[in-house]
Structure formats: C-alpha cells, structure tokens
Structure 1
Amino acid sequence: MPAEELGVLIKSAQAVLNQRMDEALRPLGLTVSQYACLQNLLDEPGITGSELARRTFVSRQSANVLLQGLERRGLIERSDDPGPRRERAIALTAEAKQLVATARDEVAAVVTRMTAPLDGARLRTLLSELAACRDALLQND
C-alpha cells in the first residue's frame, strides 16, 4: 500500500536526519533537542514553556529538564520575576547565541546534504506536498 510506504519512508528519513544532526551537533556539546530549544528561544524571544515544548516535540516536563540543563551550562538565564502567565522569562546568553549560530551552520550542512539530489523546483514541490500532508492530519484538531 503506497500510503503505508509513505509513512514508513517519512519516519525513516526523520530518523536518519535526526542521527546526522546529532552527529553534527555532538562536537558542539549539544543534542538535537537542546539545539531545537535554543534555536526557538533565539527565533522567538519570550516564547512560553508550553509553546517551546510543542515546537521541540517534547513534553512540558521534558522541556523543563532541557531548560534546567541549559541554565546549568550557562546558555540561558531565567528572570526572577514571573510573567503574565506565571512563567519566568527565558533569555539566551551571549555564549548561547554564538553556539546557535555555529550549530545552525552544522545543521544547514546536514540539510543541504539531504536535499542535494533535488533541484530547486523539486525541493519546492516536496516542501509543498509535505506541508499539505501535515495540514491534512491537523484538520479537526
């Protein structure tokens, strides 16, 4: 069944992509989840912990554990005052901003390797089709 094959292929591609990203990020002392967390904090300052958990594909509790580790490492700082949602604001340190810039380059190299067989038109089509598949699954949520 082609639909079933598609699901297996997407999961397989995701697993290999995660493995390659992990290999690229390991020398920087980051996991894929830590990188995703830092990248989201950089891209959207003031993001809530709940939204951060959703965007990094982990539970709220796992996101808190990630943040605690990043804080111990000196990569994030939390304000002492709770914000309007009773969550303490999280900010990246200067060290974290430099680390994310380097990590983004490493991840971009992995994605470039993954998409090398595709010309621009095929890549745009793939992006569009995968977005349509995702959106179809999100309907009625």
Structure 2
Amino acid sequence: MAPVSGSLPEARTAYLLKQLELALRARLDAAVRPHGLTVVQYTALTELSRDPGISAAELARRSFVSAQTMQELIARLEQQGLVQRVPAEHNKRVLETTLTERGERTLHASDHEVDEIEQDMLSDFDTEAVEALRQALRSCTKRVRKGA
C-alpha cells in the first residue's frame, strides 16, 4: 500500500508484533514478579504443568532460552521449592523435572493474573476472531521457522 502524500508509511507487521511482544512482556513481568517469578520461570512452570517430566532441552526450547540457561533456571526453581528433579524410571542418570505442590500453587496464582492480561489484550475480539488470530499466529510461526 503506497503512503498518502505527506503521511508516514504503515508500520510493518513484524514491527507491530515486536511492539506487542514488548508490551506484553512488561505486563507479564509485572504480573508474575509478586509471585517470585520471572517471565521465563513462569513459562517453564507452565510447560512443566502441561508436560511433566519433559527434558531440560525441550523445556529450554519451549521457554525460548538456551539449554545452559535452562539448567540454571531449573536449579533456581528447585532451590525455591517450585520444582523437583528425580531420576527417571527408564534411566537413573536422567533427571525428570516436575512441579512441587508449592510450584503448582504459585503457577495457579500467577495464571489468574496472566489470564486477566490475556482477556484484556483480546477484549476487542469475539471468540471466533480470537481463534482466527491464534491460528494465524501459528501459521506465521510455522512459515517463519520453515525459512530459518
């Protein structure tokens, strides 16, 4: 779309997504901080809740951090009593990470506030539009990953 004479060109979609990411990250950080969490820790707890015992490498990928950073993060969460690591039944050298009861309570308390942020963010959309947006974002992510 050509800009109207004297007006600024439209912002790129990638730029708009980055603006959303930064604004959302700030709100999420403020929401989980009172629960003693960072956004990355919250993400890790969420993924552990969805998939208990997930490998640290997969947890790192899903939490958008390096494997080394995830190892440090898991150690910190374990010190806080939010997760526990136990040897896997199939291989005692492999440690499976799961939420503790305290971790589940902390996640649940944080989820309430994160839900409010998400509801506020999507309040201008009906259910069908939200699902269409979610599908469009999944599709965009898939295509961008394919090109990498």
Indicate conservation of the 8 Å contact 1:82/1:89, yes or no.
no
Decide which moves more: 121-130 or 25-34. 121-130
Aligned to 2:122, which of 91, 107, 115? Answer: 115
Query: How many residues in Structure 1 have an aligned counterpart in Structure 2?
Result: 141
| Residues 76, 93 of structure 1: 8 Å contact kept | yes
Normalising to structure 1: TM-score of the pair?
0.89
Partner of 1:65: 72
The CA deviation at 1:9 is 0.5
CA change 1:117–1:50 in 2 (3 A) is: same
Identity %: 33
TM-score scaled by length of structure 2: 0.86
Q: Output the amino acid matched with 1:26.
A: R
Aligned letter for 1:111? E
Query: Could you tell me which residue of structure 2 aligns to residue 131 of structure 1?
Result: 138
Q: Which has the larger radius of gyration?
A: 2
Q: What per-residue deviation string (whole Å, max 9, x for no partner) do you get for residues 11-56 of structure 1?
A: 1101111110111111111111111111111110110011000000
**What amino acid sits opposite 1:71 in the alignment?**
E
Give the corresponding residue for 2:6: none
| 129-138 vs 22-31, greater mean Cα deviation | 129-138
Give the structure with the larger helix fraction. 1
> Compared with structure 1, are the counterparts of its residues 4 and 126 closer, same or farther at alpha carbon in structure 2 (3 Å cutoff)?
same
Query: Residue 26 of structure 2 corresponds to which residue in structure 1?
Result: 19
Select between 28-37 and 80-89 the one with higher mean Cα deviation: 80-89
Which residue of structure 2 aligns with residue 47 of structure 1? 54
Equivalent pair of 1:49/1:87 in contact (CA under 8 Å): no
1:83–1:89 Cα contact (<8 Å) kept: no
Judging changes above 3 Å, is the alpha-carbon distance between structure 1 residues 86 and 8 closer, same or farther for their aligned structure 2 residues? farther
Query: 1:57-113 CA deviation, whole Å, 9 max, x = no partner?
Result: 000001011101101111111115685494311121111111111111111111111
Give the drift of 1:117: 1.3
1:21/1:32 contact within 8 Å kept:
yes
Q: Determine if the alignment matches structure 1 residue 94 to structure 2 residue 101.
A: yes
Counterpart in 2 of 1:56? Answer: 63
